[in-house]
Structures are given as C-alpha cells and as structure tokens.
C-alpha cells in the first residue's frame, strides 16, 4: 500500500463535527496519550488492574489467521460443513471448538465464486472478524485502505498483486455495524489431492479479507 | 416502516453529530436490501451510555458502484454493500 495519500472527502475534517473523519498522525498521538491517561487513572482508582488489561489484550491476540484457515479448509473438504458455515456461521465455527461467546458480533461468511469476488473493509473504524482471525493487520486499519478500497477496489487489489478479471463482479462489503465478515475463497486449482491440514496452509489471512487469493499448492 | 429483502431504498442524507454508523459516502444514495440481519440495540445511543432502545432493524444494503461514485472506473456490475439500520433508510 502506498502511504497516507489523503482522500478527497467532500466535508470538513473536523472531529468535533464528524467523529469518523480520517485520523491524522498528530491526532493518533493525542488519542494514545488520552487512552494511557484514562487507563492509568482507572487502575489508580481500582476499577481494574494492569494485569486485567494485559489479560484482555492477551486473549484478543490468541486467535490467529490459522484458526480461520482451519475453518476454510474444512469447508473446502466437507460440502455439508460448508453449507452450515454459510447458513449458521457461528454454530459451524463453534463445532470446531471455537467459543465465539454471546457478546461477540455476528459472523457472516461471504462465499466467493468464479463470478463474484468479495473484499471486506470497515470504512468507519477497523471492524474485523477478530474472533476468528485475531487482530487486524495495520494496512486494514490504515486510512489509505479504508478510504480507497470502496472507491477504487480493483486498483487497491492490484496493489496487493490481485488481478480480477473484468467479467467478475467485485463486491466490497463495508462492515459498519454489528456483523463481521469472513471471506470464503474458492479452493485453488491443483489442490485436489491435498488433505485438510495441507489445504489450511494455503489459506492466508489476506485471502480471508478478500485482498488476495489463497496460495497455490 | 416495513422494509424487506429486495426493496429499493434510499439512505437518508442527514449529517447529524454523534456516533453514526452510516458511512458518509452512502448518504443520499440508492441501493437494494440484500439481507436482514435482525434487531440490534441502536449503537448511536449505546455509544453515549444509553440503552439503545427501541432496537433497530439492521439490513445489508447493496449499491451499484456507479451510483455511489459518478466517476467510478471499475466494472459496470461492481457493488459496495454496507450494514445500515432501518431509521437511516427510506423506500426509494
């Protein structure tokens, strides 16, 4: 991705008026300072401990793209599982031993085909299927990706090395609210003989966001 | 207002202050409801420590890119979809 080329918004970058305007580096430093001040005050007041904070961050970082890859590989090898994954994603993911918990946002699985290529973004912040993929990569949170992928998806995908044929429909999905989107890519050609665990190694984080295809066997 | 899958809708064009989950670039644009996700407490209220009631119905609305960006340079059938709460939508 190129650097922070500021996108031409048609309204003012004034956070007092628009809490979703792009965040500048200077503002980011201010927010970090604000976060630290509030956190330290709350620890001082005994609302929670520093160890509580550490544990929450630790838990959030436990999931990795390998967990999502396991789910995708299962869907590639078991058509009945794939059907359940699309129709009742939460239950299907829990079948594999992942506890998504009642408070977690809802999961939606977007199945790619020869005709349709899905790519996911959160233009408002950084909503991401963390329950399955862990924390999002920095580029996913960058202003450049968020502003540009809804505006010029094919151009952004090209920068990821992903060329989408002109007769394929590119569907950008902006996760603005209570749903989290996971892309189910097509099983790569030439992977017919691979077993589930070999297949899962072809499933990269980026292909589950839709910015690339799975690796070739 | 009873909206359902397949309905053509327009996103309200307002620009109220606050924790708004309707992206600015879609305001005033027309699209089609492609999924109904159910009822959720209103995040615009929850963000300020309120109860978020009444619950709002959340829809996935799909827009043709060329309807969103007049100078869109991608494919003619390319789309962008977003989750939008019912109080931001009106029948088009």
Note the pLDDT tens digit of each residue in A1-16: 444 444 444 444 455 5
For B8-51, the pLDDT digits (tens) are: 999 999 888 888 899 999 999 999 999 999 999 999 998 888 89
Q: What percent of chain A has pLDDT over 70?
A: 88
B90 touches chain A (CB under 8 A): no
- Where do the H-state alpha helices sit in chain A? 25-44, 50-60, 65-77, 79-87, 89-95, 130-133, 138-141, 143-149, 153-159, 196-200, 205-209
Looking at the complex, report in whole angstroms how far the Cα of residue B2 sits from the nearest Cα belonging to chain A. Answer: 20
Mutate: best of B23, B26, B32, B43, partner A, most A CBs <10 A: B23
Nearest CA in chain A to B17: A17
A155 touches chain B (CB under 8 A): yes
The encoded tokens of residue B62 equal: 């799909």
Task: Give me the domains of chain B, ranges plus CATH numbers.
Answer: 8-76 (2.30.30.50)
Quote the pLDDT of residue A87.
96
Q: Of residues A37, A113, A125, A197, which has the active-site annotation?
A: A125
Mutate: best of B57, B78, B84, B85, partner A, most A CBs <10 A: B78
Opening angle at CA A81, ends A165 and A76, nearest 5: 40
How far apart CA A208 and CA A191 sit, in angstroms, is 18
How far apart CA A15 and CA A18 sit, in angstroms, is 5
Q: Which of A19, A151, A174 sits opposite B82 (nearest CB)?
A: A174
Are A178 and B19 within 8 A, CB to CB?
no
Which residue ranges does chain A devote to CATH 3.90.330.10?
65-209
Q: Is the pLDDT of residue A174 over 80?
A: yes
The encoded tokens of residue A152 equal: 């010029």
User: Can A207 be counted among the known catalytic residues?
Assistant: no
Quote the pLDDT of residue A1.
42
Architecture of the domain delimited by A65-209: Alpha-Beta Complex (3.90)
Q: Of residues A126, A175, A200, A207, which has the active-site annotation?
A: A126
- Nearest residue to A78 via CA among A66, A95, A90, A61: A95
Cis peptide before B54 (omega within 30 of 0): yes
Mean of the per-residue pLDDT values of chain B: 94
Contacting residues of B for A178, CB less than 8 Å apart: 37, 40, 43, 58, 83
Quote the pLDDT of residue A62.
84
Q: Are A65 and A212 in contact (CB under 8 A)?
A: no
B88 touches chain A (CB under 8 A): no
**Mean of pLDDT values over A53-66:** 83
Contacting residues of B for A170, CB less than 8 Å apart: 74-75, 78-79
How far apart CA A169 and CA A173 sit, in angstroms, is 13
Quote the pLDDT of residue A59.
72
Q: Is the pLDDT of residue B5 over 70?
A: yes
Are B37 and A176 within 8 A, CB to CB?
no
Opening angle at CA B40, ends A207 and A143, nearest 5: 40
Spacing of C-alpha A197 from chain mean position: 22
ipTM: 0.96
DSSP state of B87: G
For A21-43, the pLDDT digits (tens) are: 667 888 889 999 999 999 999 99
Task: Tell me the angle at which helices A25-44 and A50-60 cross, rounded to the nearest 10 degrees.
Answer: 130
Opening angle at CA A83, ends A82 and A89, nearest 5: 80
């Amino acid at each position: 991705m190129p650097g922070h080329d500021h996108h031409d918004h048609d309204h003012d970058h004034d956070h007092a008026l628009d809490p979703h305007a792009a965040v500048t580096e200077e503002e980011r430093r201010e927010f970090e300072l604000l976060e630290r001040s509030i956190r330290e005050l709350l620890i001082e007041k005994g609302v929670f401990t520093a160890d509580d904070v550490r544990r929450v961050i630790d838990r959030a970082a436990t999931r990795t793209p390998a967990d999502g890859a396991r789910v995708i590989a299962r869907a590639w090898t078991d058509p009945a599982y794939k059907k359940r994954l699309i129709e009742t994603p939460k239950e299907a993911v829990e079948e594999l031993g992942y506890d998504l918990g009642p408070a977690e946002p809802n999961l939606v699985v977007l199945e790619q085909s020869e005709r349709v290529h899905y790519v996911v973004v959160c233009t408002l912040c950084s909503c991401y299927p963390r329950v399955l993929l862990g924390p999002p990569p920095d580029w996913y949170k960058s202003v450049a990706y968020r502003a540009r992928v809804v505006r010029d998806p094919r151009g952004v995908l090209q920068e990821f090395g992903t060329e989408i044929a002109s007769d394929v429909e590119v569907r950008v999905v902006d996760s603005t609210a209570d749903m989290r989107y996971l892309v189910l890519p097509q099983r790569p050609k030439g992977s017919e003989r691979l077993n589930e665990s070999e297949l899962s190694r072809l499933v990269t984080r980026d292909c589950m966001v839709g910015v690339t295809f799975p690796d070739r066997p | 207002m009873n909206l359902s899958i397949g309905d053509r809708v327009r996103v309200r064009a307002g620009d109220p202050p606050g924790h708004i989950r309707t992206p600015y670039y879609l305001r005033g644009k027309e699209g089609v409801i492609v999924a109904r996700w159910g009822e959720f407490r209103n995040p615009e209220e929850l963000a300020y420590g309120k109860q978020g009631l009444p619950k709002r119905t959340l829809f996935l609305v799909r827009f043709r890119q060329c309807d969103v960006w007049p100078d869109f340079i991608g494919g003619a059938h390319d789309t962008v979809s977003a989750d939008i709460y019912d109080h931001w939508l009106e029948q088009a």
